[in-house]
Every structure is written in structure tokens, then in C-alpha cells.
Structure 1
Amino acid sequence: MPLQTTHVLPPNPDAVVDGLRDLASSSYLNHDATTIHIRAGALFARLKALNRACNTATRTHKQIAADARHDMDQTHLGLQNFLYEKRHLEREIEKCRQFASIYQDVPLYSLEEFLERAPESSRTPDILDNEHALMLSRLSFELLERQRYDLLKQSKTQAATMDNVKAQIDLLVKTATDVQKRVSDLAESIPTTLS
């Protein structure tokens, strides 16, 4: 409930109190007692009405103050909740900033090399304008390049192994040919005396 400041205050009782004082003064000593009594009764009735109006106004203002205090307490509680949430989110943001991810230790191609070598689909204007998307694209490109490098390395290793195996097979064939030739030569040099 919004604070209401336009409540009417009860009339000032000073005029009634002054009227009662005047009745008690010496100027009314010679007046009729019944008239004074009637006038005093009317003034006391008016004073009681003012007292009731004052009590009603006091209760009304107390209620307005209580409502305003309640609204202020609710607003303060809401503020405290928002501040708590803000502190919590700031701590979470700081944790995220402090988080050491492995991508920070991955040596990447420089941005210029990425722009030269990466496929067109990895460096569209939308990607280049978004820092997060650009980092993801650079990491993906780095992964593909490393996989390609590993395949080339593996291919070279396999080619070297195959060349080595081929050389050993060639050596074995040559050695076997030499052995076969010697065996043939030895077999021819042995006289055949079985006749």
C-alpha cells in the first residue's frame, strides 16, 4: 500500500480549551450557572469529539506507518536477496574466470595462420565476429591439423617400416639366391658315382 500523506488531521482543540478556560475565569462569575453548565457541557462534548477524532487519526497514521514499514521491509528483503544473488553470481563468474582449462595450454596456430590455412567454413564473418565461436573454430582446426599431422607421421613411419622390411626381404632373397647358387655349385662339384 503506497504511503498516503494527504490524511486530514483533526481540528485544533485550542479554541475549545480556550473556551473552557474562559468559562472558568472570573468574568463568568455573575452569569447564570445553568447557562455556564450547558456551555461547559457543549465544550466538553466538543473536546471529547476532538479526542476521538485525534485517536482515530493516530490509529490511521499508525496503520499507514506500519504499512509503509512493511513495504519498506519487503523492499529491503528483496534488495538483500538481490545482493546475495549478485554476490553468488560474482563468485561463480570469478570461479569460471579462474578455471584453468586445457585449451589455454594448447599451442594454437596464430590468428593470421588460422585465417590463411583454415577452410572457408571455419572462418565465416559470423564466426570471426564472435570471440567464443572463433576460439571453438580455432580449436577444431588445430585438432584436425594435429590429426592430419599424426596421420602423416604414421604414414611416414609405416613407409619407413615397409622400406626396411622390403630391404630385409631383398637381402634375404639375395642371401637365399647366393645360398642356392652355392648349394648348386657344391652339388655339381660332387662326383656322381652311383653308376
Structure 2
Amino acid sequence: MPLVDPPSALPPAPELVVDKLRDLVSSSYLNHDASTIHIRAGALFARLKALNRNANASTRSHKQTTADARHDMDQTHLGLQNFQYEKRHLEREIEKCRQFASIYQDIPLYTLDEFLERAPEDLRTPAILADDLANEHALMLSRLSFELLERQRLEQRQKELQQQKEDLLRQSKAQAATMDNVKSQIDNLVKTATDVQKKISDLAESMPTPSPAS
């Protein structure tokens, strides 16, 4: 049996090296030179240590690869959990929006026909009045804007009417005061005239009656 193995592209399996070490202590090598067997054994032990180092290095490499893969998997799983959480959050927000009861739903609006008849042109353009779902929101905004304009107009008109009412009340009070003053003056004149008339009557009664001509 040859003492030196031929070169190989692949390292031998550890079992083969161990088998060769066992052969060195078998009866087959009893007649071989002891120094040669020691050299052979040293070479096999060196190869076994190299295989052990390679195995340890390979194990560390596989462990690192596994750790990297596990880290990537954990990051992917964490990202998936975050995505699912965000999805549930958005679904809850969408449901809240769907169930939200806005105050505009309780506002008595002009009917659509009244809006089409009375609203300004810029609030009822063809784009706003397009018959599709996307423009329902724009149409409602226009109707609410028109409602606001109308209420502001009516509020301004009420202020104007209130101002006119207050002006008329002031004029009425002024005229009433003037009439009271005139009435007071008339009463004074009537009283004065009555007094003058009484004095004239008293004076006429006190004058002697002229005797008849003889």
C-alpha cells in the first residue's frame, strides 16, 4: 500500500483520513519504517486538522448565511406586519368616513331644480354637472356654496330691512313728537282764543245799554 496519496481536486472526507490512520496501526504496517509511519501519521493528522478547520469555517459561513437569511426573513415579516397594521388602520379610517354624519346632511338645501335655475354660472358648469360618481362631490360643494351665498344674501337683506324698520320707527317717533308739539300749540291757541272770547263777552255785558232816541 503506498504511503503517499495522489493529489486530488477535492479534499478527502474525514472518514477516509481516519481509516488511513487506523491502517497505520494495523498489522499491514508492522514491517514499515517507524519514521516513515510517523511522517505518514503526521501528514494525516495535519490533513485531519485542516479538514476540521475547513469544517468549522464552513459551519461559521453557513451559520452567518442562515443568520442573514433569518434577518431578511424577520425584516420581511416585520414589514408585512406593518403593512397589515397600516391596512387595518386605513380600513378603520375609511369606515369612519363612511359612517360620519356631516352637518350638511341636516341642512335644508334648495332642490336640484332650484339650484340649476338660480345658481350662478360658475357653480353649475358642465364639468360640475357631469353625470358620474366622481363629480357628485363637486356638485354637492357647489350646492353648499350656493346655499351659503343665498343665506348671506338673505341675511344682508334682513339687515337692510331691519335698518329700514329702525329708520321708519325713528321717523315715526319724530313725526309723533312733531304732532304732539303741534297739538299742544293748537290746544294753547284754542285756550287763548277761548279766553279772549270770554273776555270779549264779559266786556260786552259790562257795557251800558244805549238809551233809545227821543
TM-score interval for Structure 1 and Structure 2 normalised by the shorter chain: 0.5 to 0.7
Superimposed CA distance per residue, residues 119-156 of structure 1 (whole angstroms, 9 cap, x where no aligned partner) = 22002244345333221111111233445566778999
Looking at structure 2, the residues matched to 34 and 78 of structure 1 have their Cα atoms a distance apart, in angstroms, of 65
Aligned residues: 185
RMSD: 4.5
- Letter paired with 1:137: S
Q: Give the secondary structure class of the aligned counterpart of 1:90.
A: helix
Q: Give the secondary structure class of the aligned counterpart of 1:70.
A: helix
| Matching of residues 22-101 of structure 1 within 5 Å | 22-101=23-102
Looking at structure 2, the residues matched to 113 and 70 of structure 1 have their Cα atoms a distance apart, in angstroms, of 65
Q: Which residue of 2 is the match for residue 169 of structure 1?
A: none
Distance 1:77 1:71, change over 3 A: same
TM-score (ref. length: structure 1) = 0.62
Q: Which residue of 1 is the match for residue 14 of structure 2?
A: 13
Looking at structure 1, the residues matched to 51 and 30 of structure 2 have their Cα atoms a distance apart, in angstroms, of 27
Looking at structure 1, the residues matched to 126 and 16 of structure 2 have their Cα atoms a distance apart, in angstroms, of 85
Larger Rg: 2
Give the CA deviation at 1:60.
1.6
Looking at structure 1, the residues matched to 64 and 27 of structure 2 have their Cα atoms a distance apart, in angstroms, of 45
Higher relative contact order (CA 8 A, sep 6+): 1
Looking at structure 1, the residues matched to 61 and 149 of structure 2 have their Cα atoms a distance apart, in angstroms, of 77
Distance 1:125 1:11, change over 3 A: farther
Distance 1:43 1:102, change over 3 A: same
Distance 1:10 1:94, change over 3 A: farther
Looking at structure 2, the residues matched to 75 and 85 of structure 1 have their Cα atoms a distance apart, in angstroms, of 15
User: Quick check: 1:20–1:43 contact (8 Å CA) kept in 2?
Assistant: yes
Give the CA deviation at 1:103.
0.4
| Matching of residues 75-154 of structure 1 within 5 Å | 75-128=76-129, 130-147=135-152
Distance 1:110 1:32, change over 3 A: farther
Distance 1:128 1:29, change over 3 A: farther
Task: Report the identity percentage.
Answer: 78
Looking at structure 2, the residues matched to 50 and 92 of structure 1 have their Cα atoms a distance apart, in angstroms, of 62
Q: Give the secondary structure class of the aligned counterpart of 1:30.
A: coil
Q: Give the secondary structure class of the aligned counterpart of 1:127.
A: coil
Looking at structure 1, the residues matched to 66 and 39 of structure 2 have their Cα atoms a distance apart, in angstroms, of 40
